[in-house]
Every structure is written in structure tokens, then in C-alpha cells.
Amino acid sequence: MRINKFLAEQGVASRRGADEIVAAGRVTVNGKTATLGTEVEESDTVMLDGKILSHKVKYEYYILNKPKGCVCTVTDEKTERPRKTVMELLPAGAGKVFPVGRLDYNTEGLLILTNDGELAYRLTAPQSEIPKTYLVRVEGTMTAVQLNRIRAGVEIEKGVVTKKCKVNVIETDKKYTKLHVVLTEGKNREIRRMFEAVGKHVDFLKRIKVGDLTLTGLDRGTCRRLTPEEVYYLKNL
């Protein structure tokens, strides 16, 4: 198998993250520095930063109700004062897992963590078009024109237009509007930028579903292992 797939199955990173690790020259196969096209067999000795990686992996799967005020990274190395990460919310004894995709610092909701790189790739690859449902609250009311612009796709930066999506108003008055938004892609801060494009500010954002998987029974900031049935469901979305 390709080296990036092997590293993903080891729980080192997603396949995209594995490509970056390989490109940095941190991986060797049988003593030789790996390249992006390197193939790995069971008899090969693969090392990351000088440590041997086993060919046998036990996969772990968690679902987390992410709160505001933490980042979806294994470590926060981009600030002088590291922020809290979602890894700190995992139970004691959890294995070496990583977040599948990202929710930004001020966004709450459903986050999956695993060391199954194939599942992570499937859930985040644009071509998979896995539906993800968000609860959105904006200030004031929204017009039919604004709603239809978002549904049809809006330009969030020069040359970048969002895909068509489902948007349903679930509650509204003069002070705020609550909506359910279903996306099948995952651009950076996409929902906030979509609403900004039609002149609305998002003051609350929470991912509530991935496919039909929900946060039922999970309080904010808590997590649990996914059941075998839930894992099977995600793998067959």
C-alpha cells in the first residue's frame, strides 16, 4: 500500500497530513527516506522520527460534543500561549487518535476522533459528499432572497463559490433567526463566510449531525466510544 495510507492506518495523521510528514523527510522504509510514491509491504520496516511503526493497529473511534474555546488539533503549536485542544477531553486510556476534520475555535458540536485513516479520509474527502448538519443562529431576521442565495451557493472569496445546500428556518423573531444548514463540503469557516456574504453575522454555530449520527445523550465537553453499529454506519455512508 502507499506510504500515506500506511501512516493513516497507524493513526499518525490523515492521508493528507501523512503526505506532509513524508515530504518533510521524517519517514524511512528499510532505512531509506520515503517519498510520496513509496509502497509499503508487511515485511518492510517503517520508521517515523526514528521509531518503528508496527503493521498491526487496533482502531479506536470516539464521538465528542466539542465545546467552544478549544482547537481541533492534537497540539496547539501556532500560538505563544497554547490553547486547550480537543485531545484534553478524551477519557483516560484513550489511544493515539486524531480529529476527523475541524470545527473552529468558537464552533461547538459533533466531532469524530479516530486512528482509522481510511474512515477519516472517507468522511472528509470532497467527493464523498457526506452530509453534515449545523444549527446556526444569526442576528435579526433573514429575507427569502438571502436564504435562496445561500441555498444556491455564494461566493465567499474571489473565485470560490460554495455548493448548493439545504437551509431551513426553525425559529425566528426580530432579534434572531435559528436555522438548520446541511453541507456536503467543508471549506474553512464555510458557514460563517456564507452568511457574511449575504450580510448576516453568525453568533452561534454547532454541528449536530454527521449523516444520521447525532449527539444524543452527550453533554457539552463529553465524549464516548462509538458503538460497532455506528462505526459500520459511518463506513458505509
Q: Which domains does the chain have, with CATH numbers?
A: 3-53 (3.10.290.10), 61-127+215-235 (3.30.70.580), 131-210 (3.30.70.1560)
Name the phi and psi angles at 175, rounded to 5.
-90, -35
pLDDT (mean) for 221-234:
95
Catalytic residue among 104, 116, 173, 203: 104
* Listed residue (227, 223, 220) closest to 92, CA to CA: 223
* Listed residue (205, 166, 206) closest to 184, CA to CA: 166
Q: Which residues pair with 177 in a beta bridge?
A: 138, 172
Give the three-state DSSP class for 223: strand
Confidence of residue 78 (pLDDT cuts 50, 70, 90): low
The listed range with the strongest mean pLDDT (2-6, 77-81, 122-126, 174-178) is: 174-178
The answer to whether the predicted template modeling score (pTM) of the entire model surpasses 0.85 is no
Residue with cell 459533533: 110
Q: Give per-residue pLDDT as tens, 39-53.
A: 998 888 999 998 888
DSSP assignment of 53-114: EPS-----EEEEEEPSS-BSSSS--SSSSPPPBGGGGSPTT--S-EESS---TT-EEEEEEE
- Residues with Cβ within 8 Å of 151's Cβ and at least 6 positions away in sequence, in order, are 164, 165, 166, 167
**Does 35 or 79 have the greater pLDDT score?**
35
* Listed residue (46, 35, 37, 43) closest to 9, CA to CA: 46
Per-residue cell: 78: 501556532
Q: Give per-residue pLDDT as tens, 139-191.
A: 999 999 999 999 999 999 999 999 999 999 999 998 999 999 999 988 889 99
Q: Which residues pair with 48 in a beta bridge?
A: 27, 51
Is 195:137 a contact under the CB 8 Å cutoff?
A: no
Catalytic annotation present for 76 = no
Give the count of alpha carbons within 13 A of 54, CB side only.
4
